[in-house]
Amino acid sequence: MNDLLIVEDDPALAAYLVAALGKMGYAVRQAGDRAGALVQFAGSEPPGLVLLDLGLPPQPSTMTEGLRLLDELLQIAPSTKIIVLTGQDENVAALEAVRRGAFDFLIKPVSRDVIQQALQRAALFAREENRMSQAGEARLSLTARFNEGPGEIAAAAEEQLVRRVLGETGWNIAETARHLGLSRENVYYYLKKYGIQRPQ
- Kindly tell me the burial class for residue 58, based on how many C-beta atoms sit within 10 Å of its own C-beta (0-12, 13-18, 19 or more): exposed
Q: Is 140 inside any structural domain?
A: no
C-alpha dihedral (58, 64, 69, 71), degrees to nearest 10:
-160
Q: Same domain for 153 and 181? A: yes
Q: In Å, how far are 39, 109, 162 from 178, measured between CA atoms?
A: 30, 46, 12
Domain hosting 175: range is: 146-194
Element spanning 157, H or E: helix 149-168
**Statement: the pTM of the whole predicted model exceeds 0.75:** yes
Residue 2, Cβ neighbours under 10 Å: how many?
Answer: 14
Q: Is 46 inside any structural domain?
A: yes
Structure confidence by residue, pLDDT tens digits, 85-133: 987 667 788 888 888 889 999 988 889 899 999 999 999 988 888 888 7
